[in-house]
Structure 1
Amino acid sequence: IYQAMLQLGQEARARSVHRKAYQPGTGQPFLEHRDAAELREQRRREEARAASVPPEVPAELAPSFRRAASCAAEIMERHWGAPVPAVPILPVPLPLQVV
């Protein structure tokens, strides 16, 4: 019976999520997650990766060719049948960031 109890105790300790640890400065006991050191290292790596990625800077705004009246019907009425487009169509380069 004693051996069976020891074996069951070992199995329970193996399944435990927390373990007893001691604070380095004061020596006060506390419960620490079994993977606490690994989780802290993972969080540190993620924070370092997030800090190394530059924040997104808005692209320079293209000049606006929009008239004071932006209603499409008003613009169509003014320039119906005009040989030249009312609003010049210019290519606008957009910066792409590959993540």
Structure 2
Amino acid sequence: MRPFQNGTIRRYGAGVSYGTGANVKQLSAWDYATTDDKAAIETAGHFNALAGEMSIGDTIKIRADLDGTPALYEYIVSANTGSAVTVALSTATAAA
């Protein structure tokens, strides 16, 4: 665990591998507890300091607004340019 923004974050578990050969990628899950609310978490640039560690497809479970009205959210890293991380609120989707 380490300090991050207005809380603490950690990467946990062994992750999930996908792809083959030289294209194997490792996805991670993150756990984040913060006093930031949902709007602050979704602000552009919130996760940019972790751009070198987060991959597209990583999930982030967030316990937010811990000094107000606590809430639990799960986000997925939807883009990472190497310096800018974009997250999207996870939603369940049904198989087609």
TM-score tier by shorter-chain length is under 0.3
Q: TM-score of the superposition, structure 1-length normalised?
A: 0.19
Q: Which has the larger radius of gyration?
A: 1
